[in-house]
Amino acid sequence: MAAAQGRLSDGADGMDDTKEGDRNGGGTPPLPFRAAVDALRTARLRPQIEIEPAPAPKRLAPFAYALEATVVDGDQDLADGRLVLLYEPDGHDAWRGAFRLVTLVRAELEPEMAADPLLPDVCWSWLTGALQARSLSYGEASGTVTRASSHYFGGLAERPAASQIEIRASWTPREGLGGVPDTASHLASWCDLLAQVAGLPPAGPGDASVVTLPQRRDPQAR
């Protein structure tokens, strides 16, 4: 797998550039949402993952909070992603709950890896497997796995062909005490997914849940 290029900057899945808060502006977020966000802000993650707050969408739910992350190994960016926490105080019929997590994860692949017909199924299993490995309860999972290839011509003909994998997904985290889901553990599972897509080894000697891609070849420096 080659290094991921650039940072997330598109408006995918309604993830446009707005601030955390409600649709009408100026409202105080409800306690369950504030507690869920606080857990995201204080979660401890593996050191290879650099994470920071990002603009949150305003049209998907009354309240939203977003994070962006990059998997870094030395001076290489291996993968990047965005995780958005949505909150609908009155509940959402399609979500079957008040909270929803939405994600976009992507990384570049070696062409032969991208050609593997089983790759989309494997990538989706990484998401569900990461949640199950931490014994997290969730529902209504849905998403897409997309492979894209770029070939260069003319003045760009010297560039090698590039392939990218992209995972877009959403799921409903089950709520615990006070109607608040364990967002810190869901964030840790999401980081496990990022690490798998990036090709990192397991976080610890006892962590057999991480099945990595083959080692990268000729990684690009950021």
* pLDDT above 50 (res 19): no
40-81 pLDDT, tens per residue?
A: 998 888 888 999 999 998 889 999 999 999 998 887 888 999
Please give the average per-residue pLDDT across 149-161, as a whole number. Answer: 85
d(CA 202, CA 105): 18
101-132 pLDDT, tens per residue?
A: 999 999 888 767 767 788 889 889 999 999 99
Longest dimension (CA), the chain: 60
pLDDT tier, 17 (very low <50, low <70, confident <90, very high otherwise) = very low
CA separation, residue 14 to residues 35, 41, 69, 87 (Å):
24, 22, 18, 15
Please give the average per-residue pLDDT across 95-105, as a whole number. Answer: 95
pTM reported for the whole predicted model: 0.78
d(CA 79, CA 195): 8
Helix ranges (H only) for 43-176 are 111-114, 119-133
Please give the average per-residue pLDDT across 23-38, as a whole number. Answer: 80
